[in-house]
Amino acid sequence: MPVSTYIKYGEVASGYDDSRCLEPAIGLALIEGLRCLRARSVLEIGAGTGNYTCALMAGGLSVIALDRSPAMVEIGASKTPAH
């Protein structure tokens, strides 16, 4: 019988940041790569609670953050002024 790997993000959103956080080297690599592309704005799909959204904005980028979980979006919105 197959094992379900589906995560109900609405149910785990409140504790999501306890186990998931920004990996600084990945954040820096994203910002550097976007700067090389001369990007000024980013559409972040699957933004979760906004950990990388915050880093991208701190790197001077304008960010539109999307996530399919309203609970994740709510938490992310409380952490960052991204759209």
The model's pTM = 0.82
User: All domains of the chain, ordered by start, with CATH?
Assistant: 9-79 (3.40.50.150)
Query: What is the model's pLDDT at position 6?
Result: 74
Gap between the Cα atoms of 51 and 40, Å rounded: 19
Query: What is the model's pLDDT at position 71?
Result: 93
- pLDDT tens digits, residue range 3-59? 767 778 888 888 888 888 999 999 999 999 999 999 999 999 999 999 999 999 999
Gap between the Cα atoms of 63 and 79, Å rounded: 13
Vertex 8 angle, CA 3 and 10, to 5°: 175
Query: What is the model's pLDDT at position 76?
Result: 92
Query: What is the model's pLDDT at position 81?
Result: 86
* Runs of H (alpha helix) within 1-83: 9-12, 16-19, 24-36, 51-58, 70-79
